[in-house]
Amino acid sequence: MAFLRVTTAVLLVCAARLGAQTGKASEAQVKAVFLFNFAQFVDWPPAAFPDTETPLVIGILGADPFEGFLDQTVRGEQLRGRAFQVRRYRSVEEIKTCHILFISRPAGDRLDEITASLKNRPILTVGDDDGFAERGGMIRFVTDRSRIRLQINPQAAEAAHLTISSKLLRVAEVITPTGR
């Protein structure tokens, strides 16, 4: 029952965000809304925010599949008094302050290298490549019969000093890393 309530709440938020759009939301649009909503279900350590003015940064590493929709989704939004900001990165070395990082294809082809360089940094890593969560990513989008499901690797999040809400964990498949 709790699973249904949380899933319904997430879907209602997604529907409200996409309601202004006509027609069916694209997969990229739904993922963009999920990225925005993850911020409500994750706690970062205080050191992740250098000062009180630091925005909550959602980064995209590699090609941007969201076609500006992520920017539209976060425009004017705040969480706990912090504005949202979207940043795009070509390489891991460019990432200074980032809180949620979507690792796009083909950057995901270097996932082991990327997760090693981000190890222990308080960055929620999200992707949609096969094996993403097993290989050290924190949240993987899985498309199954035109629906997006989540796989979460809580061990990777804990190693980065992030706390993922039990509400989010309940609606996801919990993954154990493969030990690579």
Can you read off the two tokens belonging to residue 140? Answer: 């993987």
How many residues does the structure list for the chain? 180
Domains of the chain and any CATH numbers = 2-174 (3.40.50)
Is pTM beyond 0.95? Reply is no
pLDDT of residue 177: 77
pLDDT of residue 21: 43
Q: Give the Cα separation of 115 and 38 in Å (integer).
A: 19
pLDDT of residue 24: 67
Identify the segments of the chain with pLDDT beneath 70: 1-24, 107-108, 178-180
CB 108 within 8 A of CB 129: yes
pLDDT of residue 119: 86
pLDDT of residue 178: 66
Q: What is the pLDDT of residues 39-48, one digit of tens each?
A: 999 999 999 9
State the pairing for strand pair 42-43/163-164: antiparallel
pLDDT of residue 108: 58
Contacts of residue 33, Cβ cutoff 8 Å, sequence gap at least 6? 13, 14, 17, 18, 73
Q: Give the Cα separation of 154 and 106 in Å (integer).
A: 24
